[in-house]
């Protein structure tokens, strides 16, 4: 998934490891997972309660499966697609608590710091502030022009098509380098959202590129004035 995604993975991995090593309360660890994967903590707690042995339930970006029981504890496996998020034991006593035990940890210092850092990663840039060599660029803009693509032979020995679209926001314009299937996913007039792009110079001109770890999508709302 991508640097924004890569940074999140490192950041979350470091925190999760720290939480486990320090043997923090289960409620705090689950609260952290709910924040990391954008799952409502009440929804996550209800899924844990209702998921019986050998059952699986969807919970936002993750799935929760009860793999079995050991004594008075249920074994849960949490997955995001094919990636293991966590495997943990949850006691029946924990699941029988009347008030959601995750809620009291949502303001824990580490979770608040994670939320702040995650928010900073998502902060949107303006075109006027872009400099050559920047990475992790997040941008909202309008597609102003898409020139006819050019067929090229890459240094990797592959045939490819490339074009430099022009995008703009209220602060300026910049060329967006598009390769292959990226070209067909946007049209002139589209409002687009770019995540985890990087800026570079080509023939002395500043450009923007969305690599394998970035994303480019058309927004259905939020009109961008160019």
pLDDT in tens, 192-217: 999 889 999 998 999 999 988 888 98
The span from the CA of 79 to the CA of 51, in Å, is 14
Per-residue confidence (pLDDT) for residue 16, from 0 to 100: 46
Residue 58 Cα to chain centre, angstroms:
18
Tokens of 170: 């209220």
Residues 19-57: pLDDT tens digits? 444 567 899 899 889 888 888 999 999 999 999 888 999
What DSSP string runs through 32-101?
A: HHHHHTT--HHHHHHHHHH--TT-EEEETTEEEEEEEEETTEEEEEEEETTEEEEEEEEEHHHHT-SS-T
User: For the residues 181-186, what does the mean pLDDT come to?
Assistant: 92
Look up the CATH number of domain 125-218.
Answer: 2.40.50.140
Per-residue confidence (pLDDT) for residue 115, from 0 to 100: 66
Asked if residue 94 has pLDDT above 90, the reply is yes
Per-residue confidence (pLDDT) for residue 15, from 0 to 100: 45
Work out the mean pLDDT of the chain and round it to a whole number.
83
List Cβ neighbours of 117 (8 Å cut-off, separation of 6 or more): 11
List Cβ neighbours of 42 (8 Å cut-off, separation of 6 or more): 100, 102, 103
Per-residue confidence (pLDDT) for residue 20, from 0 to 100: 46
Domain coordinates in residue numbering, the chain? 4-121, 125-218
Could you tell me which of 144, 143, 188, 182 has the C-alpha nearest to residue 162? 182
Q: How confident is the model at residue 175 (pLDDT cuts 50, 70, 90)?
A: very high
The one-character DSSP state at 125 is B
pTM over 0.85: no
Q: How confident is the model at residue 187 (pLDDT cuts 50, 70, 90)?
A: very high
Residue pair 48/64 in contact by the 8 Å Cβ criterion: yes
The span from the CA of 57 to the CA of 178, in Å, is 38
């Amino acid at each position: 998934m991508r640097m924004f995604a890569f940074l999140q993975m490192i950041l979350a991995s470091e925190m999760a490891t720290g939480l486990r090593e320090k043997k923090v309360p289960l409620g705090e660890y689950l609260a952290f997972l709910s924040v990391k994967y954008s799952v409502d903590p009440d929804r996550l707690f209800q899924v844990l309660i209702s998921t019986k042995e050998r059952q699986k339930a969807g919970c936002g970006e993750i799935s929760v499966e009860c793999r079995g029981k050991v004594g008075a504890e249920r074994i849960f496996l949490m997955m995001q697609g094919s990636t293991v998020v966590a495997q943990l034991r949850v006691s029946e006593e924990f699941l029988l608590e009347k008030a959601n035990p995750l809620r009291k940890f949502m303001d824990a210092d580490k979770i608040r710091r994670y939320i702040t850092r995650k928010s900073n990663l998502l902060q949107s840039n303006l075109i006027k502030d872009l400099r050559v060599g920047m990475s992790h660029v997040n941008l909202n803009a309008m597609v102003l022009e898409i020139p006819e693509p050019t067929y090229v032979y890459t240094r990797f020995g592959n045939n490819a098509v490339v074009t430099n679209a022009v995008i703009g926001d209220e602060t300026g314009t910049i060329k967006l380098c598009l390769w292959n299937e990226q070209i067909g996913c946007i049209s002139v007039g589209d409002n687009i959202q770019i995540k985890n792009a990087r800026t570079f110079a080509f023939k002395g001109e500043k450009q923007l590129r969305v690599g394998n770890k970035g994303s480019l999508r058309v927004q259905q709302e939020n009109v961008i004035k160019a």
